[in-house]
Structure 1
């Protein structure tokens, strides 16, 4: 099978900018949809902010059939570099799905699909860098550990953060852990590529990194955030999308979702993104992959 042949058609393209913040409703979560038939991407409104439970319902019940759905979070933690997610912990899970189940089980009492109990777990916390200068003895120092796909992102000019790092505005560790609780609930209901193989039809979830979409739209990695409708329309035009035609400021969560939905519409046709050079079956099951990293 060639790389061109592995690409398949979708009817809708959804991008979800995620949040791992504590609380019920999150203005940091944004949802945008682009139609394969054309037109500009459209934000799905949530005036008070989305809850993670509402996003789960969208994923399982409300998004149109045959959608490519991108979630801006890490679908797993580094494994291959140390041959374990949590080296030295006898309960360390053997693969990504087991990791999702573990996070969800430990956080069962946490409201709003948060992951506080996992971050504060007496053993799990040893592997994370947390606020207040609390660096676990097994964090590894420096920038922390990285998945294979994140190393490939760096070669593309991106600046990935370790999912074991929970400190800083650009960290994605908390988003990834809360996202794993959602992913666990998708098991048997919605495939998550490449942990699940790409189905011949129907919807599928992929991990996205919105900076990749911004770079494809003509932005640099250091200037990936878009905060005006004028700049947003320029980025959309670079992706072959009609403009929104609005003026003035826009929050970067909304612009991330809009640009990435438009990017998914074109990127989904690139067979190399579905069969990246650095991905194999073991990496897929242990660490997952970021769509768009070839």
Structure 2
């Protein structure tokens, strides 16, 4: 991508896979290419609300960052669900499968997907670790990882497997519900690098908010910020004006605000769009986390 000012707006979305219609864990923040502090979009969001914004109400030429895994590991075992007769061939087919299995579940939920008897053995939930949680039945304590998550780890982050459904840091259900949303966005909004980066218009990328925090001078262990004072220190490190608030704030809001400013700072760097580990096959099957180099 040419390093010109191709995007005019930068929308960061902190996502949630929790049960229920409206989620306190979803936060949206937007930064304008013209400058100024990032702005929190105040609302008690549902996943369907976010889908509607992305499908019908985006400002023109917006780079959208979604804090979730846009696919499951594929390269490590040669497939998403090795041994399953109908394992999908690429990420859009995976999204379609998730949405089809969970079609009757409201709120873009994915609990019925991970509970399906053919699919449950690939996941670790609160009661058991599936026999296929690792490749070929091997025991892997942290589960399977995509190539991009290995790149995150090399940068100092501690990623979690999208096949893990246990604990406060689990990302599995969050990612699976997000993949249902991505299925419903097909034909409306491209998702890089599964889709080529278009020359104009809006596009979705996967983000990992810890990467933004690292570039703002915070460690991975201290990536979460729970005050506007801490947030504004990090924003200053990115060259962004501060948010004119003080006091406590939840880390979903600060994740979104900081990452919106980070996207604005780095989106026009060509290196971000051509990481070393991103091959055409990885792009179509696993996708990539924007900023993982």
The answer to whether TM tops 0.5 is yes
Matched length:
288
Please tell me whether residue 62 in structure 1 is matched to residue 61 in structure 2: no
Structure 1 distance, partners of 2:257, 2:153, is: 24
- The CA deviation at 1:8 is 5.5
Partner of 1:38: 35
Q: Contact 1:103–1:177 (CA<8 Å) still a contact in 2?
A: yes
SS at match of 2:10: strand
Stretches of 4+ aligned residues off by more than 2 angstroms: 4-8
Change (3 A) 1:7 1:289: farther
Query: CA RMSD of the aligned region, Å?
Result: 1.0
Structure 2: give runs of 5+ residues left out of the alignment. 135-139
Matches within 5 A, 1:149-160: 149-160=148-159
Match of 2:96 among 96, 101, 105: 101
Partner of 1:91: 86
Match of 1:17 among 14, 17, 38: 14
Partner of 1:227: 226
Q: Contact 2:3–2:268 (CA<8 Å) still a contact in 1?
A: no
SS at match of 2:245: coil
Change (3 A) 1:19 1:7: farther
- The CA deviation at 1:245 is 2.4
Structure 2 distance, partners of 1:176, 1:239, is: 27
Partner of 1:258: 257
Q: Deviations over 1:41-95 (max 9, x none)?
A: 000011xx21100000000111201000000000000000110100100111011
Q: Contact 1:43–1:258 (CA<8 Å) still a contact in 2?
A: yes
Q: Contact 1:7–1:268 (CA<8 Å) still a contact in 2?
A: no
Q: Contact 1:8–1:200 (CA<8 Å) still a contact in 2?
A: no
Of 239-248 and 281-290, deviating more is: 239-248
Q: Output the TM-score relative to the length of structure 2.
A: 0.97
Q: Contact 1:7–1:274 (CA<8 Å) still a contact in 2?
A: no
Structure 1: give runs of 5+ residues left out of the alignment. none
